[in-house]
């Protein structure tokens, strides 16, 4: 297999969803191919950072909660 | 803990949901304030656009207000609200007929590696804000699957069900999304 084939397997490798044999093949390739190993490292970093985002709500800018609440109340008469 | 302390504990989501269903708008406002950020964050990540995310957040809570009587307390309230939010976003995609395209349009693997030309430098730790920004730059189809799988923790089986695609499609979209994110992040730091 060449790098392109291994590249297709890197997400599954990352997620631990490859069968043992394929996993071993990928592992062997990663040991001898710096570019593929670098990509795996990057994908892994992305995946681990994404998990943090799930509970991290401070990494985005929020609109004013009060303004949306007012719009909500006006449009649907939630406040009677 | 004394009895007095127990009594002053804030009401649970389930209690607030029941009170809301019975017409208590103060209870509903408490639920809104408690969950606003989670709902907005999910909308924003799935839509990649703050204006649309605001509108959708409003839609979600309007829908929640109308539907709250159907919350039975079998699952956690957060899980239930999460489902409701994802459904609202998907309905919105369909309404504006920009449903994430799962066909071959974005089908090409965005990164071609040729041995020796790939920069072997590994990315250092990714800044969370940089990742958030990169997610907004993904094509919608990639973004939806990435947010549902890698951020929200759904498995491919669930995503296939939610989006009405095959598990294989979900998997390949996720892989392409991650590669695309890597490309975006590397360009940002280059
Ligand atoms: Zn390789």
| CATH code where residue B75 lies | 1.10.1740.10
Please tell me the distance between residue A32's alpha carbon and the centre of ligand 1 in angstroms.
8
Mark whether B81 and B17 lie in a shared domain.
yes
Domain limits at A66?
3-79
Instruction: Enter the tokens of residue B150.
Output: 């890698």
Task: Give the ipTM.
Answer: 0.89
Which regions in chain B score pLDDT beneath 70? 1-7, 97-120, 190
User: How far apart are alpha carbons B188 and B137 in whole angstroms?
Assistant: 12
Please report residues of A whose CB lies closer than 8 A to that of B28: 78
Please tell me the distance between residue A13's alpha carbon and the centre of ligand 1 in angstroms.
14
User: How far apart are alpha carbons B128 and B147 in whole angstroms?
Assistant: 14
Mark whether B81 and B148 lie in a shared domain.
no
The whole-model pTM stands at 0.84
Where do we find the tokens 């269903």?
A: B21
Domain-located, residue B113: no
pLDDT tens, residue by residue, B117-160: 455 677 778 889 999 999 999 998 999 999 999 999 999 999 99
Cross-chain CB nearest to A53 (options B61, B112, B131): B131
Q: Which residues of B3-31 are buried (b: 16+ CB within 10 A; e: fewer)?
A: eeeeeeeeeebeebbbbbbeeebebbbbb
A16-24 average pLDDT score: 96
Cα distances (Å, whole numbers) of residue A79 to A26, B31, B36, B55, B163? 59, 14, 17, 19, 35
Domain-located, residue B102: no
The structural domain count of chain B equals 2
pLDDT attached to residue B61: 96
């Amino acid at each position: 297999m060449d790098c392109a084939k291994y590249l297709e397997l890197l997400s599954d490798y990352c997620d631990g969803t490859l069968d043992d044999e394929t996993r071993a093949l990928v592992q062997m390739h990663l040991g001898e191919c710096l570019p593929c190993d670098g990509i795996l490292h990057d994908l892994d970093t992305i995946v681990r950072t994404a998990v943090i985002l799930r509970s991290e709500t401070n990494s985005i800018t929020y609109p004013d909660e009060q303004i949306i609440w007012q719009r909500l109340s006006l449009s649907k008469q939630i406040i009677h | 803990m004394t009895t007095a302390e127990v009594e002053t504990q804030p009401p649970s989501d389930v209690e607030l949901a029941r009170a809301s269903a019975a017409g208590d708008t103060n209870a509903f406002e408490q639920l809104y304030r408690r969950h606003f950020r989670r709902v907005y964050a999910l909308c924003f990540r799935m839509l990649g656009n703050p204006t649309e995310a605001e509108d959708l957040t409003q839609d979600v809570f309007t829908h929640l207000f109308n539907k709250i009587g159907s919350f039975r307390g079998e699952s956690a309230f957060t899980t239930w609200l999460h489902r409701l939010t994802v459904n609202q976003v998907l309905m919105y995609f369909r309404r504006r007929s920009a449903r994430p395209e799962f066909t071959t349009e974005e089908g090409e693997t965005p990164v071609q590696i040729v041995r020796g030309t790939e920069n072997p430098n590994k990315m250092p730790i990714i800044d969370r804000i940089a990742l958030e920004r990169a997610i907004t730059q993904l094509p919608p189809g990639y973004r939806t699957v990435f947010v549902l799988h890698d951020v929200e923790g759904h498995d491919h089986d669930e995503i296939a069900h939610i989006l009405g695609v095959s598990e294989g499609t979900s998997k390949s979209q996720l892989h392409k999304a991650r590669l695309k994110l890597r490309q975006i992040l590397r360009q940002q730091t280059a």
